[in-house]
Chains A and B, each alone.
Chain A
Amino acid sequence: SQTIHQWPATLVQPVGSPLSLECTVEGTSNPNLYWYRQAAGRGLQLLFYSVGIGQISSEVPQNLSASRPQDRQFILSSKKLLLSDSGFYLCASRQGRGYTFGSGTRLTVV
């Protein structure tokens, strides 16, 4: 079965600073990978998904970017964080019809 590792679990960053959140997947190969964001009191919004190395699709325009340098590695980045980037970020992996989620990163931009 798939296991997703996300780090860090919590992060406090000043406005204008860069961001890099990493997600790695174990127990599968060639998965589809996803980044979701959950803003306070809101549902889960799909930010990016990837069907393979170097292939990134963006769902909504925003201040963030994603990269997939290796098959089981998915990175969420920003050059300059905004207050509105605060939220709970979840990485997910899909193999076949099953989805697995990481434990998330709580990002607070101050």
Chain B
Amino acid sequence: AQSVTQPDIHITVSEGASLELRCNYSYGATPYLFWYVQSPGQGLQLLLKYFSGDTLVQGIKGFEAEFKRSQSSFNLRKPSVHWSDAAEYFCAVARGIQGAQKLVFGQGTRLTINP
């Protein structure tokens, strides 16, 4: 079955430090991959997405992600985090045929920023 795994439930980094959030997927075909961010009590905001082409994807707020087919991974990175990046981050894969496509999410990674 197709699934998405985010191995880290909670990560703490210092402000200004680099960040990498891990995401692994299980999917037979070339996946459509997404990263979303959720601030407390809010909906989801799309950070970036990968459909095809260049495997390094640039997103909003200085985030980027790299699709590695050989590792079935789509890790999210940021070179220097800001206190405002504290939030919950979700990786997702779109599965199913075109008409019945749906997003399957990982369990999420909660990011805490130390001052």
Chain A contact residues, majority secondary structure? strand
A62 to B92 Cα, complex, angstroms: 23
Asked if A99 contacts B43 (CB within 8 A), the reply is no
- Please judge, given known A-B contacts A44-B90, A90-B44, whether A99 and B103 are in contact too, CB under 8 Å: yes
Say whether B101 contacts A104, CB under 8 Å.
Answer: no
Asked, given contacts A32-B101, A99-B34, whether A104 binds B42 with beta carbons under 8 Å apart, the answer is yes
Task: Return chain B residues, CB-CB under 8 Å to A90.
Answer: 43-44
Residues of the A chain whose Cβ atoms lie less than 8 Å from the Cβ of B36: 101
Taking a contact as CB atoms under 8 Å apart, the answer to whether B90 and A43 are in contact is: yes
Number of interface residues of B (CB under 8 A): 22
Which residues on the B side are within 8 Å of A101 (C-beta)?
36, 43-44
Inter-subunit contact B107/A42 (CB<8 Å): yes
Among A48-74, those with CB < 8 Å from B are 49, 51, 57, 59
Q: Is B46's CB within 8 Å of the partner chain A?
A: yes
- If A43-B107, A43-B108 touch, whether A102 touches B102 (CB-CB below 8 Å) is no
- A57 touching B106 in the complex, CB below 8 Å, given contacts A101-B43, A101-B44, A103-B43: no
Known: A97-B32, A103-B42. A49 touches B51 (CB 8 A): no
Residues of chain A within 8 A of B102, CB atoms compared: 32, 34, 46, 49, 59
Q: Which residues of A contact B107 (CB under 8 A)?
A: 42-43
Interface check B105, CB cutoff 8 A: yes
Q: Are A51 and B99 in contact (CB under 8 A)?
A: yes
Complex CA gap A79/B104 in Å reads 27
Assess the B103–A43 pair: CB atoms within 8 A. Answer: no
In the assembly, what is the distance between CA of A28 and CA of B88, in Å?
A: 28
Q: Once bound together, how far apart are the Cα atoms of A32 and B41, in whole Å? A: 24
Chain A residues within an 8 Å CB radius of B111: none
A1 to chain B, nearest CB (A): 12
Is the pair A46, B100 in contact by a Cβ cutoff of 8 Å? no
Chain B residues contacting A103 (CB-CB under 8 Å) are 42-43
Q: Does B94 contact A (CB under 8 A)?
A: yes
A-B contact pairs, 9 of them (CB 8 A): A34-B102, A42-B107, A46-B102, A46-B103, A51-B99, A88-B41, A92-B103, A97-B51, A102-B43
